[in-house]
Amino acid sequence: MIRMGVIGYGYWGPNIVRNFSSVDGSKVVALSDLNEDLLKKAQRTYPHLRVSTRSDEIIGAADIDAIAIVTPVFTHFELAKKALNMGKHVLVEKPFTYTTAQAEELIELAEKKHLKIMVDHTFLYTGAVRKIKELMDNGTLGDLCYFDSTRVNLGLFQHDVNVIWDLAPHDLAIMDYLIKEKPTAVVATGQAHINGLEDMAYITVYFPNKIIAHINVNWLSPVKVRTTLIGGLKKMIVWNDLDPDEKIKVYDKGVDVKTTNGVHNLLVSYRSGDMWAPQLEQGEALKLMAETSVGCMGNGKVPINDGAAGLRVVKMLESADKSVKKKGEIVYL
Amino acid sequence: MIRMGVIGYGYWGPNIVRNFSSVDGSKVVALSDLNEDLLKKAQRTYPHLRVSTRSDEIIGAADIDAIAIVTPVFTHFELAKKALNMGKHVLVEKPFTYTTAQAEELIELAEKKHLKIMVDHTFLYTGAVRKIKELMDNGTLGDLCYFDSTRVNLGLFQHDVNVIWDLAPHDLAIMDYLIKEKPTAVVATGQAHINGLEDMAYITVYFPNKIIAHINVNWLSPVKVRTTLIGGLKKMIVWNDLDPDEKIKVYDKGVDVKTTNGVHNLLVSYRSGDMWAPQLEQGEALKLMAETSVGCMGNGKVPINDGAAGLRVVKMLESADKSVKKKGEIVYL
Amino acid sequence: MIRMGVIGYGYWGPNIVRNFSSVDGSKVVALSDLNEDLLKKAQRTYPHLRVSTRSDEIIGAADIDAIAIVTPVFTHFELAKKALNMGKHVLVEKPFTYTTAQAEELIELAEKKHLKIMVDHTFLYTGAVRKIKELMDNGTLGDLCYFDSTRVNLGLFQHDVNVIWDLAPHDLAIMDYLIKEKPTAVVATGQAHINGLEDMAYITVYFPNKIIAHINVNWLSPVKVRTTLIGGLKKMIVWNDLDPDEKIKVYDKGVDVKTTNGVHNLLVSYRSGDMWAPQLEQGEALKLMAETSVGCMGNGKVPINDGAAGLRVVKMLESADKSVKKKGEIVYL
Amino acid sequence: MIRMGVIGYGYWGPNIVRNFSSVDGSKVVALSDLNEDLLKKAQRTYPHLRVSTRSDEIIGAADIDAIAIVTPVFTHFELAKKALNMGKHVLVEKPFTYTTAQAEELIELAEKKHLKIMVDHTFLYTGAVRKIKELMDNGTLGDLCYFDSTRVNLGLFQHDVNVIWDLAPHDLAIMDYLIKEKPTAVVATGQAHINGLEDMAYITVYFPNKIIAHINVNWLSPVKVRTTLIGGLKKMIVWNDLDPDEKIKVYDKGVDVKTTNGVHNLLVSYRSGDMWAPQLEQGEALKLMAETSVGCMGNGKVPINDGAAGLRVVKMLESADKSVKKKGEIVYL
């Protein structure tokens, strides 16, 4: 039984507490937040929880095996470092850290201490992403051409990070999980309209083998969109995460290319066949992430949401941020 | 009565012939195409039409006042130049030309000859674009933040031009018409998967006053999307051109910013109010374009789809094409 | 080559003329309408057409083999009877006639004269209905439970017939074609709000074997809906005729029933599997109807849109009309 | 402070406990269910709750002021009667009772005992229904023509009641609240396919003044639909309860009727204007229902979900059930 301490009870913290409380293999024993009202609210639901406004009390407690850090990104590094140094496993909310240097340092420290450091890339555990992964790995899509994701809504302006750091971690983590090739470069454009932080951005990620990815994130959209297109030469996927019933549609559409004998005569023809919406596994993704993460703390296995995955995402975020500041200048990874 | 000669009876030519035949002020008297079968098909519907496989016969005919050029883009310049030199008004299918130099030469020649040269930017005449123009010009949207357009489908691969030249002219012509500010730079990314021509591209256009535009064009999408978001500080528009009934939705959503007294304390709050779908004027846009163009040939007025509009679009296409080849290098306009 | 005369050039007439002009096996030689402006309009497009405001001139012409009657329903019987008596094959717009007695008389007369009488049940020739028919006939759906169709919009008020006679012929013809069992009774409810004719109606059709059908027709709906649900024990279909790309969706959803040993213990469990949208054959349904009908005039075959099909639909319309007047009183067929 | 006892912790019970626990003015002190596992589950979340498998213990407890009955419909009458006799206010899950006689007896008993009896018609407290009520009451819609509701899905088969008693209470309660006129008669058709209980039904309700309502309920639909059309002569509403953002759309569409001078010449013309989606009040409807109900227990006011409303709904359910058994025979109310 892993005894968890949770730091942060804002927007996402309650979900972390609820899930680590309910899965087999872990229980939440202590919670810290700077806001006393939030602590009181937590205790109404979980009267047994030990609470504190001082995170050090949680991090240092002898009866705690692992720390979940659910605080703003700029605090991740210091808190995670402390926790590792106190001998605790760590799960960090995404994005992992604010710099690749920080991410690398945490990964090294965890290895040295024989501890686990993981990142809450919840989306990797959804039925949708798992089904897409299966369809890509078993060759259904054929050679991959592109990954194109749109994640826009009228968003809560963050005061410390721009829209890239706020919304793109989801898409980059998913993309990193699905695509085997390693990205080579990033180009990002965008604009800050309100408070000096980019509120919309367009991120292109180049891969080998003609694969290209694009991520559109926007805090100023009047409508909420969560749509990802994944195009292969054999089949193509449209994933609409807002569709309650048919999130994943697989299209038997594509392009057939024939080079006729001897000459450079390219014949491009189109295929248009049936569409198919596979049944997805139900179940809360966060619960599965919690279960898997807790399991890996015990058994030494490496989860798909390990520190290395977190680092790869931070590297792309950092590069996109750098590129957007220079109006689309390419940043090689 | 303007007597028209039409060159080209492929995909779009029949629409041009039908509309210039039916509007007041013009009639189509002759048609040319290299494909004799297409000419026969045209004559079944329009037995009175004079047809020829030689465009020179049409361009040079004494009983013709204006030439509509509905051929592939690489032929536009030569055909238009000939027609102007023969004293004919000219309407060119979009994109106007393949280089800005060609566009400039045609505009100059037309001026010298006191003839009209126009481009078939049909979309400017749709009820949707006219309504958006009205809402932007009368201040309904407030200060403009962005224009974000997606035009993707499983597309007919062109053999001479990439997806930028094929699909983006629509969005760039609409953007050019709607936004008063002059664009300053273009960044484009994209990829060629099949035949060496880019089949997907992402174009960012920078404007003064923090305005930014983005255009997503793709020949490899399994689904057809024609959606444009236009965000202002007061209101925001979602234009879904595939919605048969409610193409334009105006959202009373936005961001209010207050700087509190004395300090640099930015308060960003959100507005979320009603949505409103205005009734749009019906009627075929191409017919209105034809009517207006024919009218301008007679009365000397300058239509919104004049050669200068065509040139501005070509300049952006040329720049995007240049940028995409250099993986997003910025191209100043 | 079947030489056609067409009577009526209102809303649907132009489609009939266009299609019977273009298919192999027939040509349109003459057209009649009471409205001279419509005749002029027809001649602009088809200068070779002989036109007349007197239908007798068309019906009696020696150079005409078949008559298409595209006029209001109350004129169908007299016109069709005349045409048959003059030795012409007849295609009648739906609904076939205004009474079953009329329909029976026409069918008998056609048989006696060795002529064909057919009804323009265009929908039977759409890719959607043909695919559904295939899925029902090959057992994909399993035992049929229900057919539930909604056909509503802000409709053109008719001055001679209510919404049942205007809109329900489509659904009843489709239902008659798809369901092998013979309907046993009809119950209809509805209301007239504006001009004394029912502008909305709900028609239930009872069949043997627990099959039930329901048709919802409405001229007072602010939105257009064309949706049919067809439920079988093994699979279920949703046909949304307004969806441009995925009209037919086949759901692997249903109910499994088990009676456990010895007792009357019914275990009802649910299946929820993949959804599948088959690719449909393209092509204009009306053209296929025209081709098939013309073919049958020559070769003696019986098309699916024969007079008998028209009669079965009229019988249900008549019964629904009778029931709606008596507030849902059951009418046995 | 109203001290509540809750009977039943199945599908809906947890929501009742959660809401009556959190609103001002009430707290839940005791819970009963026949299933001990459910009681244990409840105590994990609410350790302070007194639980029992014997409802009598709850109903008879001296420290309880009101009883919420969240059990199958056939138990409602006995439990509510006991509770009233023990001097408790009562809130009953919908449908109120299984017969009008039972409903009447409970209402009388409550009056005699000066206690409140209410029914959990939660939908009346949603932002959507409240906005529609406002638009109908302030004349926006004009004279009402119809109310047409579809509530279908692949449903949990009930073992004690058919689909009418399971799904139609929602629509009938909403209709009863929105329409001022009193219904005069009911016609219902339907079919039982699986276990002898109707799994689909079509209910027509006649009103004075040409108003008509129709309710389509179905347990065998592969897709979930929750759509209500409400047509007035001036404006029409489409309420799609599954749309996360724009549940209510108000269409400026309708029919204008003019009787021209002196004669019975009816001119019917169509209006088609803007569409408008009003912002709805957020907040959980069940919480508002709980608050209002608890408030009325204290202050003697009559809530919109009183026993009389419950009775009117039961009367229509009973009539629809009677009609469906007789294949649509009209049942006068």
Q: What is the DSSP string of D20-49?
A: HHHSTTEEEEEEE-S-HHHHHHHHHH-TT-
Q: What chain C residue is nearest to B246 in terms of C-alpha separation?
A: C223
On the 0-12 / 13-18 / 19+ scale of CB atoms within 10 A, D134 is exposed
> What residues of chain B lie within 8 A of the CB of C47, using their CB?
47
At residue B261, does pLDDT exceed 70? Answer: no
Across residues A315-325, what is the average pLDDT? 98
In sequence order, which residues have a C-beta less than 8 Å from that of residue D292 and are 6 or more positions away?
D125, D303, D305
Q: Is the dihedral of CA D289, D292, D295, D296 positive or negative?
A: negative
Whether B223 sits inside 8 A of C244 (CB atoms) is no
> What residues of chain B lie within 8 A of the CB of C242, using their CB?
244
Whether C255 sits inside 8 A of D206 (CB atoms) is no
In words, the CATH class of domain C124-282+316-332 is: alpha beta
Q: Is the dihedral of CA A183, A186, A190, A194 positive or negative?
A: positive
Q: How many C-beta atoms surround the C-beta of residue C57 within 10 A?
A: 14
CA distance C278 to chain B (A): 15
Q: Which of B272, B273, B276 is the closest to D274 by Cβ? A: B276
> What residues of chain D lie within 8 A of the CB of A244, using their CB?
224, 242
Whether B194 sits inside 8 A of A148 (CB atoms) is no
Distance CA B164, CA B167 (A): 6
In sequence order, which residues have a C-beta less than 8 Å from that of residue D195 and are 6 or more positions away?
C257, C266, C268, D157, D159
Whether A148 sits inside 8 A of B218 (CB atoms) is yes
pLDDT tens digits along D228-274: 999 999 999 999 999 998 999 999 988 777 665 554 555 677 778 89
Across residues D93-112, what is the average pLDDT? 97
Distance CA D220, CA C235 (A): 11
pLDDT tens digits along A191-241: 999 889 999 999 999 999 999 999 999 999 999 999 999 999 999 999 999
> What residues of chain D lie within 8 A of the CB of B279, using their CB?
252, 272-274
Residue (of C156, C192, C235) closest to C327 by Cα position: C192
> What residues of chain A lie within 8 A of the CB of C273, using their CB?
279
At residue B182, does pLDDT exceed 90? Answer: yes
Q: What chain B residue is nearest to C47 in terms of C-alpha separation?
A: B47
CA distance C246 to chain A (A): 8
CA distance A147 to chain C (A): 22
Whether A231 sits inside 8 A of B223 (CB atoms) is no
Q: Are A69 and A9 in contact, with CB atoms under 8 Å apart? A: no
Distance CA C52, CA C39 (A): 8
Distance CA D32, CA D60 (A): 12
Q: How many C-beta atoms surround the C-beta of residue D196 within 10 A?
A: 9
User: What residue spans define the domains of chain C?
Assistant: 2-115, 124-282+316-332
Alpha carbon distances (Å) from C35 to A120, A204, C29: 73, 61, 18
Mutate to test the interface with D, among C199, C216, C220, C325 (most CBs of D within 10 A): C220
At residue A285, does pLDDT exceed 70? Answer: yes
Distance CA A325, CA A92 (A): 27
> What residues of chain D lie within 8 A of the CB of A245, using their CB?
223-224
At residue B246, does pLDDT exceed 60? Answer: yes
Whether B242 sits inside 8 A of C242 (CB atoms) is no
Q: What is the ipTM of this complex?
A: 0.94
Q: Are D70 and D13 in contact, with CB atoms under 8 Å apart? A: yes
Distance CA A307, CA A146 (A): 26
pLDDT tens digits along B136-160: 999 999 999 999 999 999 977 777 8
Q: Which chains touch C (3 or more CB pairs under 8 A)?
A: A, B, D
At residue D76, does pLDDT exceed 80? Answer: yes
Distance CA D144, CA B89 (A): 58
Q: Which of A272, A273, A277 is the closest to C275 by Cβ? A: A277
Residues of chain C short of pLDDT 50, as ranges, are 263-264
> What pLDDT shows up at residue D185?
98
Tokens, residue C139: 């057992």
At residue B230, what are phi and psi to the nearest 5 degrees? -130, 115
Query: Element (H or E) spanning A39, and its range?
Result: helix A36-45
pLDDT tens digits along A141-163: 999 999 999 999 997 777 789 99
Q: Which of B47, B223, B224 is the closest to C47 by Cβ? A: B47
Whether D229 sits inside 8 A of C223 (CB atoms) is yes
Question: Between B and D, how many CB-CB pairs are < 8 A?
Answer: 25
Q: What chain C residue is nearest to A250 in terms of C-alpha separation?
A: C276
Question: Between A and D, how many CB-CB pairs are < 8 A?
Answer: 10
Whether B242 sits inside 8 A of C244 (CB atoms) is yes
At residue D93, does pLDDT exceed 70? Answer: yes
> What pLDDT shows up at residue A259?
61
Q: What is the DSSP string of A95-111?
A: S--SSHHHHHHHHHHHH
Whether C268 sits inside 8 A of D194 (CB atoms) is yes
Q: Which of D204, D229, D253 is the closest to C189 by Cβ? A: D204
Question: Between A and B, how many CB-CB pairs are < 8 A?
Answer: 144
> What residues of chain B lie within 8 A of the CB of A330, using their CB?
327-329
Q: Which of D246, D272, D273 is the closest to B275 by Cβ? A: D246
Place of tokens 């690398």: A104
pLDDT tens digits along B115-138: 999 999 999 999 999 999 999 999
> What residues of chain A lie within 8 A of the CB of B179, using their CB?
none
Whether B277 sits inside 8 A of D279 (CB atoms) is no
pLDDT tens digits along B41-98: 888 778 789 999 999 999 999 999 999 999 999 999 999 999 999 999 999 999 999 9
CA distance D202 to chain C (A): 8
CA distance D125 to chain C (A): 25
Tokens, residue D259: 């009787």
Q: What chain D residue is nearest to A41 in terms of C-alpha separation?
A: D22
pLDDT tens digits along C249-287: 999 988 777 665 554 455 677 778 899 999 999 888 999
Give the residue numbers in B contacting C (CB under 8 Å), as ranges: 45, 47, 223-224, 242, 244-245
Alpha carbon distances (Å) from C98 to C70, C73, C78, C94: 14, 6, 11, 10
Distance CA B176, CA B306 (A): 12
What is chain A's mean pLDDT, rounded? 93
Distance CA D97, CA D118 (A): 12
> What pLDDT shows up at residue C186?
98
CA distance B302 to chain A (A): 35
> What residues of chain A lie within 8 A of the CB of D224, using their CB?
244-245
CA distance C174 to chain A (A): 23
What is chain C's mean pLDDT, rounded? 93
CA distance C248 to chain D (A): 13
Q: What is the pTM of this model?
A: 0.93
Query: Element (H or E) spanning A190, and its range?
Result: strand A185-191
Q: Which chains touch A (3 or more CB pairs under 8 A)?
A: B, C, D
3-class state of residue A3 by DSSP: strand
Whether D277 sits inside 8 A of B273 (CB atoms) is no
CA distance B98 to chain C (A): 34
Look at the domain A2-115 and name its fold: Rossmann fold (3.40.50)
Tokens, residue B162: 């990439």
Across residues B237-259, what is the average pLDDT? 89
pLDDT tens digits along C45-76: 787 899 999 999 999 999 999 999 999 999 99
> What pLDDT shows up at residue D261?
55
CA distance B294 to chain C (A): 22
Same fold, B2-115 and B124-282+316-332: no
From A260-274, B142-156, D303-317, the region with the lowest mean pLDDT: A260-274
pLDDT confidence tier of residue B237, bands split at 50, 70 and 90: very high
> What pLDDT shows up at residue D157?
72
